[in-house]
Structure 1
Amino acid sequence: MPLIKRKQLAACALALLSVAPRAGATPQAAPSTDESRTVRVTGHYDNAVGTSDAASQGVINSELIVNRPALRTGELLEFVPGLIVTQHSGDGKANQYFLRGFNLDHGTDFATYVDGMPVNMRTHAHGQGYSDLNFLIPELVQRIDYRKGPYFASEGDFSSAGAARIRLADRLPQGQASVSVGQHGYLRGVVADSAAAGQGTLLYGLEVNRNNGPWDVPENVRKYSGVLRYSQGTADNGFSVTAMAYKNSWNATDQVPLRAVESGQIGRFGSLAPSDGGDTSRTSLSYALRQRTQNRLFEFDAYLIRSQLELNSDFTYFLANPGQGDQFQQSERRTVAGVNASESWTTQLFGLPLRNKLGVQARVDRLSPVGLYSTLARVRQATVREDRVREASIGVYGENTVQWLPWLRSVAGLRYDAYRFKVDSSVEGNSGAAQDHVVSPKLSLILGPWSQTEFFVNYGKGFHSNDARGTTQTRLPDGTSSAPVTPLVPTRGMELGARTQWLPGLQSSLALWRLDVASELLFVGDAGETQPSRASRRHGIEWNNHYVAAPWLQFDLDLAASRSRYTQNDPAGNFIPGSIDKVASFGVTVTDRGPWSGALQLRYFGPRPLIEDNSVRSASTTLAYARLAYQLNRKTRIALDVFNLFNRRASDIDYYYASRLPGEAADGVNDRHFHPVEPRSARLSLSYAF
C-alpha cells in the first residue's frame, strides 16, 4: 500500500479542492508514472489521510463486500464501522439498526440511499424512516460511502446519526452466475452481466431466493429481485438509466416471551402467532447525470418509486383482545418522486483556493392509503385507522471549502428544509395540513497532515421528520384527545477526530462525538398513535483500524462505546430503552493464497437497557461468521460460509413489555421478549464467471 510522501503534503491538500467525481466520492490524485508520487491507498477501505472531512467518514470498496459472508442482505450496512444490523421478524421486513447509542429501529436517524434514491420511507406503516434493503443484489454493489453525524450540508432528513450512499456498478468485469444451497431449505440463484449496447453499456442482474430458516413455522421466503441499467460515459461524466423490481413474501416468527420458552410451551424457535408474516414489493425507475468541465461538476438525479407492504404482527398475543388475539396488519401503498441537483466549482479568492457547491433536493410521497387494521389469521376484522397522506419537502444547501494554509482547510455549509403535510384520516379530527421548516448550519476544520496524521473538528445541526399523521392528530383511535407533534425535530452534533497512517499499511481513525436530540418523538405504528418522549443526549468514542499486513492479508478492528440518556429527569428513569453502549468488530480477510481464500468476522453487540430505570437489561451477543473458498479453475469458484460459527445461544434483539398468554391475568405479564439468533448453519456456493 503506497503511502503519501511527506514532500507531497501540500500538494495533497490543494488536490482536495478539485471537484469531487460524484456526490460523496473522495478526491483522487491524477495518475503518475512516478510510483513514489502517487496519492492512492488500495485495499478494501478508502479511508486514507486526505480523503475526507471527518474521522468518521469513509468508503467501502466492492472487494471487501464480495469476500465477506453475510446472512442477510441488510448486513451490507454492517461494513459501516460501529453499525449493527439485526432482525426481529421475517427476512422480508426491514432490519433493525443500531449505531452511536441509537436503537435506530428500522432506520430513523440513519439515512440510506441507492444511487441517489432514498431508501428511508417517511410516514411508513411500520415505523418512521423504514429502510428495507432487501431489494438489493449485493453482487452489483460497487462501493458504499458512509458518513456519521449531522456535519454535511448535502445530508438532510434521517441523517443525524449517519448516512450511507450505496453505489451500484455501471458495468461488470465479467458475467457471473452463482447458486447457493444451505440448511433449512435455503436456495439462492444470481445471474448478472454487462455488455456493450450502442455507445453505452447494458447491465442486468437477477436474483431468486428461497428460505425456511430454523423456525418451527417455516419462513417460506419467496424473493425475486431484478436490475436493468443502461449507462454511457464514466461515473463522473456520463449518465445512467436504471430500472429495479423486487417482490417478497414470507412467514414471520417475531420476538417471543421468555416465560413461554422456559415453561416449555414453545421451543426456542417456536411461535405463538403462526399466521404472522407479510408481502412487499418495490419498483423504481431512476436517472443519473454527471457532467464535468474543467473546473465544474453538475450532478442530477431523478427517481420514481412505487412500493407496497402488508405486514401482519402479534406482539402481545391476548392482551387487548382475549377472544381472537391481538394480531394487526400494517398496510400501505406508496408512490415517491424526487429530484436532486447540484453544481460544484472551484475558484480563488485573494489567492486562496475555494471549492463551492450549491444543491437542491425535492421529494414527494403519496400514500393511498396507509392503514392499521385488526386481523385474525391475516384477514381484516376492523379498521383502527386509515389515512391518505401527501408529504412534500424541499431542501436547499450551500457549501464552501477554503484551503487557508497547506495544513488548514475549512468546510462551511448551510442547509434549509421545508416540509408540508396533508392528511385525510378515517379518525374524526385527525385530518388537516401542517408545515414546518428548519435551518441547519455546518462547520468543519481539517488540520494537517503532519507525519501522516490529520485532525478534524466538526459541528452541525440536523433533524429528523416525524410521521405526517402525528402532525395533524388531535385524538387517538380510541377517541381520547391527543396533541399534534412537532413535524421536524432538530438535532445537534459535534466531533473531534484524528486519522493516521503512521504505520505502513495501517489506516486508523479515532473520533469523540456528541449528539443532542430535541425530542425522541415518533409515530408508533404498532399502536396507531404518536407517543412523545424526552430530549436526549448521546456521546461516545469510536476507534477504527484497517491494516493491510500483506497484499493477501487484511485485518479490521472497530471498537465503539457510547452513553445515552434522556436529559429531562423523570421518576421512570433516564435510560433510553434499546440504546446500544458497546460494539466491537474484528475481521480477517485472506485472498489469493494460490486457489484458496477465506474470511473470518467476529461481532460483539453489547448489553442494552430495556426500560428507563435500567433495572432490566439485555444480554450481550457475540457472533462469528466464516468463509473458506477455493478457485477450481479460472472461471469456477466454490465457497463455504458458516454463520454463528460457535453456535451461540443469543438474541438478535430484546424488548421488555407486557403480553398475555392464555390463562394469565387480564393485565398480562411484563416480560422479556426476544428474537433468537439463528443456530449454526452452512451455505455452499458455486460461482461461474462467463
Structure 2
Amino acid sequence: MKNIIVAIAMLFMGTIAAQNLKGKLVNETGSSLEDAGIFNKSSGQHSHTDATGHFVLDGTAVKDTIYFSILGYATKIRVISQSDLQNPITITLEESSISLDQVVLVSKVDALSKLVDVDVKTNPVKSSQEILRKVPGLIIGQHAGGGKAEQIFLRGFDVDHGTDVAINVDGMPVNMVSHAHGQGYADLHFVIPETIENINFGKGPFYADQGNFNTSGYVNLKLRKSLDKSFVSTEAGQFGTRRFMGMFNVLDTRHKNAFLASELYLTDGPFDSPQNFNRINLLGRYRYAIPGEQELIFTASHFSSKWDASGQIPQRAVDQGLIGRFGAIDDTEGGQTSRTNFVINHSKNIGTGKSLNTMAYASHYDFELFSNFTFFLDDAINGDQIGQFEDRFMAGAKSVFQNNLASLGGLDFSYNAGIGFRYDNVDDNQLSHTLNRQVLLERFAFGDVDELNSYAFAGASFKSGEFTFEPAVRLDYFRFDYIDKLSTKYNSRSEEKVAFSPKFNTIYSPTESTQFFLKTGIGFHSNDTRVVVANGGEEILPAAYGVDLGTILKPMEKLVLNATLWTLFLEQEFVYVGDAGVVEPSGKTERMGIEVGARYQPLDWLYIYSDANYTHARSTEAIGGEDYIPLAPDFTMAGGITVGEGQGLSGSINYRYIDDRPANEDNSIVAEGYFVTDATLNYSLNNWTFGLIVENLFDTAWNETQFATESRLLNEAASVEEIHFTPGTPFYLRGKVTVNF
C-alpha cells in the first residue's frame, strides 16, 4: 500500500523519472513492421523498429505523447501510462492510403528517402529503367538498345554505369567491380518493378554501411516481403512492344509466406534497325517469421536478356542526310547478358534493444557486348567494332549487430557494428576487335580477375536534447589479382590496399516537423583490377571528401520542403575508355551545389512533387577554361502530379529536365539538354485495372545520351570530333490490363 501511495504521489507531482519504453509494432495480421518510426512529441526522442518489429524508446515518462508511424498505415498516437513503462507493449497499426501526414521527421540521416517513398507508392515505377529516376536529382540514359545498364548522372557526375553510385538490392551489390565494360557497371534489369517495396538512398559519402562506389551517393532497393493479392498484367504498344507479368501468392500463413514473380518483355524499339529485344525475369521469395523474434527470407532470381542495338551515331551523319535520327552506322551492335542470384536475409531479436541482421548472397553473371564507337577510325576496312565478354561468380556476406539501448557513464546511446566480405571471380574478361559480331580479328585484353573486399564498420548515435550526434568509421581491405592470358608465359600479378573512412553527422530536430543536418565524411571508389596491377598499385582507392548542410521542414501536415548545400572533393576522377576497355585516372575534381525539393498533398487524391539541383563541377588540376568535367550536368529538374486513389480514375504526369552541359574539357562541344514529359491514365473497377502509359507525351526530339567522340565514317578522309548521340524515345503509347485475384 505504501508503494502505491508513493507512486500516485510521484505521478501527481510529475516527478516520475523518464524510463525506456519497449515493445513491438505489427500490422492487423500480426506481421512485424520494420523501420516504423516512434516519436516522443513531449521530449523529442525518437526510435525505429528493427527487422523483427521491436523498438526501444529511451527518455519516456508517464503522460508523454508517442507517435507510431509508417507509410501506408494510419499513424497511432498513445499517451503513456505507468503500466506501459513496466511491460513491453504491442502496437497494431491499421492499413491506410498513402499520405504525407504519415511521415514524421525523426533524426535520421536518410530522412529524405522516407519522403520519396511517398513518390514511389503514389506513382509506382512502370519499368526497370525508371527505378533510379525516383531518386531526386538522379538522371539516367540508355544508349545501347535497352539491354545495357543505363548511364547515370548525379550531383554533377557522369557516373557512366555506376562508378560513383553504390547500388544494392536488399543488401546484394549490383555494381560490378572490374567489369568488362567499365568499373562499377550496375545493371538493374534483373529487378521486376512490381516487386519493389521502397527505395532507400543517401547522397554523399556519409554512411558507414556503404563502401565501394559510395561517393556521390547510394541506392538500396527493398523488395516486397509478401503479397496481399496475386495479379497478372499484360501490356502492348508501339514498336512491337509486349510485356507479360505476374505475381502469385503461393503460401500465406501466420508464420510463413511465399510468392513467385515473372516478367517477359519484348520490343523492337523506335530504331530503323529493329532491336529484337527480349528479356525474361523470374523471382521466388520465401519468408519465415516469428513476430518479434526472428525473420528468415530466401530469394532466388534469374534474368536473361538479348538485343540488337543501333548504338550512338555522329551528328554529321544525320545533318548530311546519310541516316535518320533513328538510323545506324553499324547496326550489328548488341549483346546478351544473364544473372542468377541466391540471397538469404536473417534478422533476430537477441534481447531488449538488441538485434542481429545477417545476409549472404551468391550470384552467377555473364555478359557479352558488341559496340562501335569510332566506326572506321582505326580500321578502314573492317571497322572498329569491339566485343567485351566476361563470366563472373560473385559471393558475399554481411552481419550487423544493433544495440538501441546502450549506456556509457550514465549516457544512453545506440550503436551498430558490422563485418562482411565480397569476392568476385571473373573469368575470360576480354576486349576484342570483332567484325559483325561473328569474326574475332584481334584480342586487345584477355585475362582472369579475382578481387576480394573485406570490411568492418561501426557507428553510434548520441542524443542530447534536440541534437543527435553520429560518429562512425569504416575499414576496407582490398586484394586485386589478375592473370594475363595474352602473355606467352604465366603472368599473375597482385596488389593490396586498405581504405579508412571516418564519418560524422549531426542532426538538430527541435520539433517533429523540423530537421537541420550537417553531414561530413570520407568515401572512395576503387579502380579496375587491370589498371591497378598495371599502375603498380598506385591510385587504387582515391578518397572522396564530402560535406552536406541542409534542412527538411514540414510547415503543414501535408507539405514537406527540403534544401541542401553540399560540396565534394575527389582525389582522383575516373573516366571509362571504351576502346581500351578500362577506367583511367583523370585528375582531382571539386563539386559544389544546391538541392531543393517540395512535396505537397493538398487533398488525399492529389499529390505534387518537384526537385531541382544545381552543381558547379570543375577539375582542380587544369587551367581555367579547360577545367570542365565532360558531361557533368549543372542543372536538372524532375517532378510530377498524381491524381486519384483506389477505385475509379487515376493518373499522373511527370517531367524531367537536364540543361545543356559541356561534352569536353574546354566546353567547345556541348551536349544538348532536354525536357521530356511522361503520363499515365488508369481506371480501376473491382479487381480490374485498365491503363495507358505514354512516354514523351509531346513527342520531343531529344538526345538521351551524348558523347564528344572522334570518329571516321567509311568515305571520310579524316576523322572528326563532335557529338555522337543515341536518340531519345519519341511519342510511345502502351496499353495495360491488370487483374487481381
Of 695, 701, 711, which aligns to 1:649?
Answer: 701
Deviations 1:140-163 (A, max 9, x none): 111111111111111111111111
1:669 — aligned with what? 720
Report the CA distance between 1:653 and its aligned residue: 1.4
Give the counterpart of 1:212 among 268, 271, 274.
Answer: 268
- Greater CA drift, 103-112 or 59-68: 59-68
Q: 2:380 aligns to what SS in structure 1?
A: coil
1:151 and 2:206 correspond: yes
- 1:339 and 2:370 equivalent? no
Cα distance per residue 1:455-492 (max 9 Å; x no partner): 10110000001001111116xxxxxxxx6642111111
Q: 1:67 to 1:569 in 2, by over 3 A?
A: closer
**Distance (whole Å) between structure 2 residues aligned to residue 513 and residue 400 of structure 1:** 23
2:526 equivalent in structure 1: 465
Is it true that 1:387 corresponds to 2:439 in the alignment? Answer: no
Aligned to 2:384: 326
**Matched AA of 1:75:** E
AA of the residue aligned to 2:329: L
Question: Letter of the aligned partner of 1:279 in structure 2?
Answer: Q
Which of the pair has the greater relative contact order for Cα pairs under 8 Å at 6+ separation? 1
| 8 Å Cα contact 2:182-2:583 kept in structure 1 | no
SS of 2:671's equivalent in the other structure is coil
Counterpart among 421, 424, 427 of residue 362 in structure 1? 421
With over 3 angstroms needed to count, the CA separation of the structure-2 counterparts of 1:529 and 1:222, relative to structure 1, is: closer
- 1:451 is displaced (CA, Å) by 7.6
RMSD: 2.7
Secondary structure at the aligned position of 1:64 is classed as helix
- Please tell me the residue identity of whatever aligns with 1:186: T
Q: Aligned with 1:393: secondary structure?
A: strand
Q: Which residue of 1 aligns with 2:286?
A: 230
Quick check: which has more Rg, 1 or 2?
2
Compute the displacement of 1:411 (Å). 0.5
TM-aligned CA deviation for residue 222 of structure 1: 1.2
Task: Tell me the equivalent position of 1:111.
Answer: 166
**TM-score normalized by structure 1?**
0.92
* TM-score, with length taken from structure 2: 0.86
Q: Structure 1 residues 53 and 197, CA, compared in 2 at 3 Å: closer, same or farther?
A: closer
Q: Is the 8 A contact 1:43 1:548 kept in 2?
A: no
Is 2:308 aligned against 1:285? no
SS in 2 for 1:104: strand
How far off its partner does 1:647 sit? 0.5
**1:166-181 to 2 correspondence within 5 Å?**
166-181=221-236
- 1:77-156 to 2 correspondence within 5 Å? 77-156=132-211
**Residue 86 of structure 1: CA displacement?**
1.1
Equivalent runs, 1:578-597 vs 2, <5 Å: 578-592=631-645, 595-597=648-650
CA distance in 1, matches of 2:691, 2:423: 44
Q: Aligned to 2:301, which of 244, 264, 267? A: 244
Q: Give unpaired runs (5+ residues) of structure 1.
A: 1-6, 475-482
**1:14 match:** 45
Question: Which residue in the other structure is 1:689 paired with?
Answer: 740
Aligned twin of 1:4: none
Quote how far apart the aligned CAs of 1:669 are: 0.9
Partner of 2:186, secondary structure, is coil
Q: 1:398 maps to which residue? A: 458
Tell me what 1:261 maps to. Answer: 318
State the 1:33 CA deviation. Answer: 5.5
Counterpart of 2:603 in structure 1 is 550
Q: Do the aligned residues in 1 keep the contact of 2:528 with 2:582 (CA within 8 Å)? A: no
Offset at residue 569 of structure 1 (A): 2.2
C-alpha contact (below 8 Å) 1:470/1:485 kept by paired residues: no
Structure-2 separation of matches of 1:420 and 1:59 = 39
Amino acid at match of 2:178: T
Pick closer, same or farther for the CA change 1:365–1:290 going to 2, 3 Å: same
- Which of 570, 581, 603 is the matching residue for 1:517? 570
Tell me the secondary structure at the aligned position of residue 261 of structure 1.
Answer: helix
The alpha-carbon distance between structure 1 residues 498 and 62, as it changes in their structure 2 partners (threshold 3 A), is: closer
Alignment-derived partner of residue 13 in structure 2: none
Post-superposition shift, 1:352? Answer: 2.7
2:99–2:558: 8 Å Cα contact kept in structure 1?
no
Partner of 1:274: 331
From the superposition, tell whether residues 82 and 558 of structure 1 become closer, same or farther in structure 2 (CA, over 3 Å).
same
- Superposed, which structure 2 residues align to 1:242-641 within 5 Å? 242-292=299-349, 293-345=351-403, 346-379=405-438, 380-405=440-465, 407-428=466-487, 431-450=492-511, 452-473=513-534, 485-522=538-575, 524-570=577-623, 573-592=626-645, 595-631=648-684, 633-641=685-693
Bigger Cα displacement from structure 2, 227-236 vs 286-295: 227-236
Q: 2:85 is matched with which residue?
A: none
Local SS of the residue matching 2:362: strand
Counterparts in 2 of 1:26 and 1:390: CA distance versus 1, 3 Å: farther
Supply the distance in 2 between the matched residues of 1:564 and 1:418 (Cα, whole angstroms). 30
SS at match of 1:259: helix
TM-aligned CA deviation for residue 608 of structure 1: 1.3
Give CA deviations for 1:639-680 in whole Å, capped at 9, x if unaligned: 0011100110111011112100012124x1112111111110
Q: List per-residue Cα deviations over 1:311-363 (Å, max 9, x = no partner).
A: 00001100011010000101000000000101000222344320010001200
In structure 2, the partner of 1:479 is none
Residue by residue over 1:153-199, the C-alpha shift from the partner in whole angstroms, topping out at 9 and shown as x without a partner, is: 11111111111111111211100100000000000000102232674
Alignment-derived partner of residue 50 in structure 1: 106
Name the SS of the counterpart of 1:471 in structure 2: helix
The question of whether the paired residues in 1 share the 8 Å contact of 2:299 and 2:343 is answered with yes
- Alpha-carbon distance change, 68 to 289 in structure 1, aligned in 2, over 3 angstroms: closer
Change (3 A) 1:294 1:451: closer
